[in-house]
Structure 1
Amino acid sequence: MALGRRNKAARREPKFDVEGPKRELRVDPEDRIPISDEDMPRTKTRARKKPASNGKASAPDAAPAKAPRKGGSGGGRRRSLPGRLVYWGLVLCLWGVIGLVGLFAWVGAHLPPIQSLEVPKRPPSIQIAGTDGRILAVRGDSGVSAKVKELPKYVPQAFIAIEDRRFYEHYGIDPIGIARAAVANILRRGVSQGGSTLTQQLAKNLFLTQERTFSRKLQEVVLALWLEQKFSKTEILDLYLNRVYFGAGAYGVEAAAQRYFGKHAREMSLSEAAMLAGLVRSPSRLAPTRNPNGAQRRAQVVLAAMANSGFINDKTAATAIAQPAHALKQTSNGSINYVADWIMDVLDDLVGRVDDDIVVETSIDPAMQLYAEQAITEELTAKGEKFGVEQGALIAMTPDGAVRAMIGGKSYAESQFNRAVAAKRQPGSSFKPFVYLTALERGLTPDTIREDKPISVRGWKPENYTREYYGPVTLTQALAMSLNTVSVRLTLEFGPTAVTRTAHRLGIASKLEPNASIALGTSEVSLLEMASAFAPFANNGMAISPHVIESIRGRNGKVRYRRRPQSFGQTIEPRYVGMMNTMLQETLQIGTGRKAELGGRPAAGKTGTSQDFRDGWFVGYTAQLVAGVWLGNDDSSPTKKMTGGGLPAEIWARFMKNAHRNTPVASLPGLHGGFYLPYPNQQNEAPGMVQNDRPVPPGSIPGRSASVATPARNDGMDSWLLDRLLGPRR
């Protein structure tokens, strides 16, 4: 119906027949407003139906649109599977690039500004010299370097072949090398190869820590790219070869060549260069001084890699493999490194931060250091298993505290823990001299009588080693035999606090528990403290402070520190020094310290054995040298009944005999002809005479205070000797 005709007809309102049947509401075709061609989309013309006279729709003017395909969108052409993969691959790559850029931006934000980065200055060289001026050890950088242009070509080639064969082809990171390492690690189900380039390793050595985290690895990559932009390949090789660590304290190829082969880097053979290149992966495990077979096998791998890279031919590689490198035989176990570590600990207190090369002149006598090392290592190797003891320590110093030798353990390569300085153990009966000095300073004498009989202290019943008692004995005899009951009685008589104060006054710095058991050496102390505390007996009563550094100077000779003579005053009156030396020398002459006797040279000392034979001690001295020996196990497990009068005394004697070569014999302070000098209040108290109205026990040697020493456990005193010295047991 035409629009005009419809408008002239009467208006018809829709009727809703509520009561009649329900009808479907729809717009009548005649009431639809037609859409003109101008309103149709220009890309397509919609087909329009014209009403037929019989009310049926006429055929469309155009063919109807095809039904959309399954899986399609809006009837568009379906994209093939490869096309979709390419499409989404590109999308993922785009997001990956965006994420990578963001990640590097984050890493860069946590680095110092690149423009402010500089290759750090070479660490200062700290050379440690002995009394003869010879360099004993080096800490920090060795101070020697080698230029690539001065080295044989095969030296840098060895490192490139095994660590970064595409060194000249990448720009700091090697994606091919990373992929190759990843595949190898997956196939071997472990980390068998690394993907770090030489430049990355240099970045880590120069700027970063050794921690293994993802963020540090990313920082390493950024810094490697920066290094490649700033330096040439030759400069990077120079930096790398002079900063990489080769073990045994050697940094740089020049220091390593001298350390392992005793020659300059420019003089190394092909097999020696290959061995050094092989150390980079694991310098401690593959060090040729420690694992020569492992080092040689790794060198063979390096030579094969050089041949595969075209640096050498197969024949040259085979020749080098047939003639492997050998490290110099070490003349020591590296014990001087215990001294070097101790020096590094105190260096900052003397000169502050060290930024330039310095030479530290010490009080260490190289000959004595070697004697001490040999005594500890050889005796433990020969007898350690027999006595169930694995570790030992020795320290020797002059009576004024200058340390001449220090051994912190059986082998520095196996353990760097310094047992002479840092370990604290129960000294056992070697602590008793402080008990007896306390008694002497309060009026007793070496010949004063005290009763050796059972004692109980609040339920604690200390016993002698033999579980036998000898009745009245002199203090000299009691100390020589380490009679525990007498030591406890003296401690209770004058008070545990008085004993601890005496020990602290003489040089013990550790905390001491002021109780009755302090009489038996139950509080833990270090070997350094014990040797220091015995020093006043050797120097006529002067307090000392142990020291090892004499002076420090720069490479230009300028003195930065020089130790001045120090006086800490008199800590023991000379008369008491004479009494103590009279008592303590008996231990070596006829007591449990007989194995420490020095063949006519005046010496004194004390044995010590802690509970359950866990620690064995001998601390003694002459007029020229004070030395202490400790033996035990790091886990404090009991030994096989090792006593201080056994192996520790033997080691002490062996060292002291060698240390006193060409040294004149000298008497101990306060003694004259083997006896302590009498003082006005002692004129009638000669050894071997009646003391305090009580006779000296029968069997004692006239004219001297005969004694046989034992530690807290008597140190294995022979019964026949006790009978001879003390007479019948009570």
Structure 2
Amino acid sequence: MEKRGSRRKLAARNDRARRAAADRPQSRWRRWLRRVVVWGGALVLLGVLFLGLAVAFAARSMPTYYQLKATQTAQTIVVRARDGTEIVELGPSFGKWLSSDEIPQVMKDAMVSVEDRRFYSHLGIDPYGLARALYVAVTGDGRVSATSTITQQLARNVFLNSNRSLDRKAREAILAMALESKFTKEQILELYLNKVYFGGGAYGIDSASRKFFSHPATELSTAEAAIIAGLVKAPSRYSPTADVDAAVGRASVVLRLMKEQGRIPPDVTVDPSAVNLKEEKGQNSVRYFTDWALPQLDLLLPETFEPIEVWTTLDVGMQRAATASIKANTPAGAQGAMVSLDRDGAVLALVGGTDYVETSFNRATDALRQPGSSWKLFVYLAALEAGYTPDDRVVDTPVDIGGWKPRNSSGRNAGEINLRTAFAYSINTVAAQLGNEVGFGTVASMARRFGITTPINTYPAMVLGSNEVRLIDMVRAFAAVSDKGHSVEPYGILKVTTADGKLLYQHEKRRQSQLVPDYVAAGITDLLQTAVNTGTGRAAQIGRPVAGKTGTTSSNKDGYFVGFSSGVTTGVWMGRDDNGRVGGLQGGTAPARAFAAYMRYAVKDRPVEEFDTDLKLPEWQLEPDDEYLLGNPDDYYFIDEQGNLIEPGTSGEPRRDPFDEAFDGNGEGQRPRPGAQRPGQAPQPPPRGADGAPQAVGDDFLDQATGADRERAPRPIPTPNVQIIRPQ
């Protein structure tokens, strides 16, 4: 019996063990499920609590509705000419603020349909839209599409930036829910429609309506509302003034969504292509100037977002004349640019192309083009500083510098000429010889000294303008010559004030440095004036003194003229953007004519100024005078009234000297004869004349004695004997 009872107990234990083993995984799974539910619920509660606190804190610190209405989202800049005339207003345009009752319902419906169809039902974020976007991302290409609600967009526009980061999206969501908790749906939509950016500087529907349709937003039609609503996604891409077809296509999408959502009857036909768009007036060339000048505000001003007024150096009349002269003289298919500086560097006019609307690329300040022979300014400056004068004789002859053989445009050589003629007629071979004599590195250093900021190579061809430069830099260099060799710094901003007149910046005159001596500036001005009077720049004459230089590159790809008169320095470039050939384009033709047309207006109210070309050479460069040739009179031997020899520095005691033989035989000579020698001095060969016969005296002494004006011989220019390695 005991054995039978033991077996029953053992079987029962085994049975219980089997049942426990079978139940163990299920119990473990249930325990983990309970833990997940408990802890997950706790975390959700903590998250909701944290989110609620964040939203409550954001709502509490958020500006009031009226403060948000008064907040601008960008800076307005009013640009004024030097006389105070407003020339352009840049930055945002806000139009008139429209209350919710004044905004057409069709405008509200169009915006809600395309940007946030569940706007009236969500709490700032759209969970359904977010879930759908995540599903599409998982099952599609992996990218999460835009899911921002109208409230989130408002939060981003007012409080945040557009960075695509998780942190920014989280803050955007919190601020959106705070907006929903503090303001009504109608208030949020009113803020949004009055603040959202629609492109072209237009903020808000009223500004957009006036810009695109020439009437206030209260008069918007269904098609016009669809066009405006379609701009929010990509203002630049769908702008009616940039791409009408793209704008109409996007508006058609908006209208389809409005019909699908029941906001307009499905049987209503709306044709956005029939909308009358405001004719876009071409922005004039002032924008070339503002594109160059206004970025300088980042360096001149502390960070500020309040509206400002920028007073510039621009002269409205001169700008208009510059624009007209470029348009009238630029060859068909080419572009033209002009920069005009006052004597202190103030930019009076700046034109970067023939049509700003067609292309905003600023060829006056950004384009790098070859200046041709106008670069010879630096070659001749270096030569004048090295000791040449405009009257020095040089020889126009074929040149070979390390295998480089420059030719003149005429194909001929003029032989012996002076420096002034060589410059006036832009003789290439003479410029090459001068550059080789003074050193190509010296020419490059001179260009850098006068304000050329672009890279400069020192290969021999650089003397003919092979380096690419900016037009504004070349004008700066010529302006320094106009100011007698003093440095010039171009500037375009006179002062900056707030809208209520508070001064933020005032231009101060910079210290000038003397770039070259006065006589060098006078010499180069002499050459530049001759180039206009009788040389290649004759088309630039305006009836008063003008100094300047032409420039033409190979195959007529670039035409240059830079010159000055009455304190105004102006440079003109013409050519094709693709660097193609322009038939008949030379610096002395269209560019010089454009220069003259503009300068006649630019200097009409200025007094006529004659150029200072009087060379006051330094002592080391002066021609020898009598004292230099014959010595100081105090050092002379001479004869007193009784015929006695008086030694230098004595009180007059007579003494006979073996050097008496140096005097004329009759004893009446007052100075030693040229060629006479003192005792112990080696015999000197007698001077000889042009025919080789001995002369009693040398030519120099005869010139001095007779006052003969003997023409100077050509100044020799050595032929290089070094091998110059040219680039392959």
TM-score by length of structure 2 reads: 0.69
Residue 183 to residue 617, structure 1, CA distance change in 2 (3 Å):
farther
Question: What is the CA distance between 1:361 and its match in structure 2?
Answer: 0.9
Residue 75 to residue 140, structure 1, CA distance change in 2 (3 Å):
same
**What per-residue deviation string (whole Å, max 9, x for no partner) do you get for residues 645-696 of structure 1?**
25x9525633652564385286875449xxx5576979xxxxxx9963359x
Measured in 2, the distance between the counterparts of 1:264 and 1:615 equals 48
- Is 2:9 the counterpart of 1:35? yes
Equivalence for 1:453 = 397
Letter in 1 for 2:123: Y
SS at match of 1:35: helix
2:540 touches 2:595 (CA, 8 Å); kept in 1? no
- Is 2:326 the counterpart of 1:369? no
1:158 touches 1:303 (CA, 8 Å); kept in 2? yes
Equivalence for 1:561 = 505
2:542 touches 2:596 (CA, 8 Å); kept in 1? no
Measured in 1, the distance between the counterparts of 2:16 and 2:442 equals 118
- Please show how residues 477-626 of structure 1 align to structure 2 within 5 Å: 477-510=421-454, 512-513=456-457, 516-566=460-510, 568=512, 571=515, 576-588=520-532, 591-593=535-537, 596-597=539-540, 600=543, 602-610=545-553, 615-623=558-566, 625-626=568-569
Equivalence for 2:78 = 127
Letter in 1 for 2:281: Q
- Please show how residues 321-720 of structure 1 align to structure 2 within 5 Å: 321=272, 323-332=274-283, 335-373=285-323, 383-384=332-333, 392-409=336-353, 412=356, 417-465=361-409, 468-510=412-454, 512-513=456-457, 516-566=460-510, 568=512, 571=515, 576-588=520-532, 591-593=535-537, 596-597=539-540, 600=543, 602-610=545-553, 615-623=558-566, 625-631=568-574, 638-640=579-581, 645=586, 650=590, 653-654=593-594, 657-658=597-598, 660-661=600-601, 663-664=603-604, 669-671=609-611, 676=613, 692-694=712-714
Structure 2 unaligned residues grouped into runs of 5+: 27-32, 624-708, 716-728
Question: What is the CA distance between 1:528 and its match in structure 2?
Answer: 1.6
SS at match of 1:503: helix
Measured in 1, the distance between the counterparts of 2:237 and 2:317 equals 30
Structure 1 unaligned residues grouped into runs of 5+: 3-28, 47-64, 79-88, 683-688, 696-730
**What per-residue deviation string (whole Å, max 9, x for no partner) do you get for residues 58-81 of structure 1?**
xxxxxxx9xx9xxxx9599x9xxx
Letter in 2 for 1:338: Y
1:602 touches 1:665 (CA, 8 Å); kept in 2? no
Residue 190 to residue 262, structure 1, CA distance change in 2 (3 Å):
farther
Measured in 1, the distance between the counterparts of 2:50 and 2:468 equals 52
Residue 159 to residue 621, structure 1, CA distance change in 2 (3 Å):
farther
Residue 554 to residue 495, structure 1, CA distance change in 2 (3 Å):
same
SS at match of 2:429: helix
- Is 2:243 the counterpart of 1:291? yes
**What per-residue deviation string (whole Å, max 9, x for no partner) do you get for residues 449-497 of structure 1?**
2222233334444443455433223323322333222112222333344
2:571 touches 2:595 (CA, 8 Å); kept in 1? no
**What per-residue deviation string (whole Å, max 9, x for no partner) do you get for residues 702-721 of structure 1?**
xxxxxxxxxxxxxxxxxxxx
Question: What is the CA distance between 1:359 and its match in structure 2?
Answer: 0.5
Letter in 1 for 2:193: L
Question: What is the CA distance between 1:578 and its match in structure 2?
Answer: 5.0
Equivalence for 1:203 = 155
Letter in 1 for 2:416: P
Residue 295 to residue 96, structure 1, CA distance change in 2 (3 Å):
farther
Equivalence for 2:636 = none
1:368 touches 1:405 (CA, 8 Å); kept in 2? yes
Residue 693 to residue 194, structure 1, CA distance change in 2 (3 Å):
same
Residue 359 to residue 97, structure 1, CA distance change in 2 (3 Å):
farther
Measured in 1, the distance between the counterparts of 2:34 and 2:352 equals 64
Question: What is the CA distance between 1:527 and its match in structure 2?
Answer: 1.8
Residue 93 to residue 582, structure 1, CA distance change in 2 (3 Å):
farther
1:125 touches 1:143 (CA, 8 Å); kept in 2? no
Question: What is the CA distance between 1:208 and its match in structure 2?
Answer: 4.7
Q: What is the aligned-residue identity percentage?
A: 34
Measured in 2, the distance between the counterparts of 1:456 and 1:365 equals 48
- Please show how residues 178-193 of structure 1 align to structure 2 within 5 Å: none
Letter in 1 for 2:303: R
1:539 touches 1:623 (CA, 8 Å); kept in 2? no
2:545 touches 2:611 (CA, 8 Å); kept in 1? no
Residue 408 to residue 599, structure 1, CA distance change in 2 (3 Å):
closer
Measured in 2, the distance between the counterparts of 1:668 and 1:432 equals 27
Equivalence for 1:707 = none
2:540 touches 2:596 (CA, 8 Å); kept in 1? no
Residue 364 to residue 45, structure 1, CA distance change in 2 (3 Å):
closer
TM-score by length of structure 1 reads: 0.68
SS at match of 1:639: coil
Residue 629 to residue 177, structure 1, CA distance change in 2 (3 Å):
farther
Letter in 1 for 2:282: T
Residue 45 to residue 568, structure 1, CA distance change in 2 (3 Å):
closer
1:601 touches 1:666 (CA, 8 Å); kept in 2? no
Residue 612 to residue 367, structure 1, CA distance change in 2 (3 Å):
same
Worse overlay, 100-109 or 603-612: 100-109
Equivalence for 1:152 = 103
2:94 touches 2:204 (CA, 8 Å); kept in 1? no
2:209 touches 2:217 (CA, 8 Å); kept in 1? yes
Question: What is the CA distance between 1:431 and its match in structure 2?
Answer: 1.4
SS at match of 1:148: coil
Q: CA RMSD in A?
A: 5.1
Worse overlay, 494-503 or 553-562: 494-503
Residue 370 to residue 376, structure 1, CA distance change in 2 (3 Å):
same
SS at match of 2:550: strand
Question: What is the CA distance between 1:326 and its match in structure 2?
Answer: 0.9
Equivalence for 1:240 = 192
Letter in 2 for 1:471: G
Residue 397 to residue 304, structure 1, CA distance change in 2 (3 Å):
farther
Question: What is the CA distance between 1:268 and its match in structure 2?
Answer: 5.3
2:81 touches 2:316 (CA, 8 Å); kept in 1? yes
2:227 touches 2:272 (CA, 8 Å); kept in 1? no
- Is 2:88 the counterpart of 1:137? yes
Measured in 2, the distance between the counterparts of 1:504 and 1:283 equals 44
Residue 527 to residue 242, structure 1, CA distance change in 2 (3 Å):
farther
Question: What is the CA distance between 1:362 and its match in structure 2?
Answer: 0.8
2:533 touches 2:541 (CA, 8 Å); kept in 1? no
Worse overlay, 608-617 or 243-252: 608-617
Measured in 2, the distance between the counterparts of 1:183 and 1:302 equals 24
Measured in 2, the distance between the counterparts of 1:45 and 1:260 equals 86
- Is 2:230 the counterpart of 1:278? yes
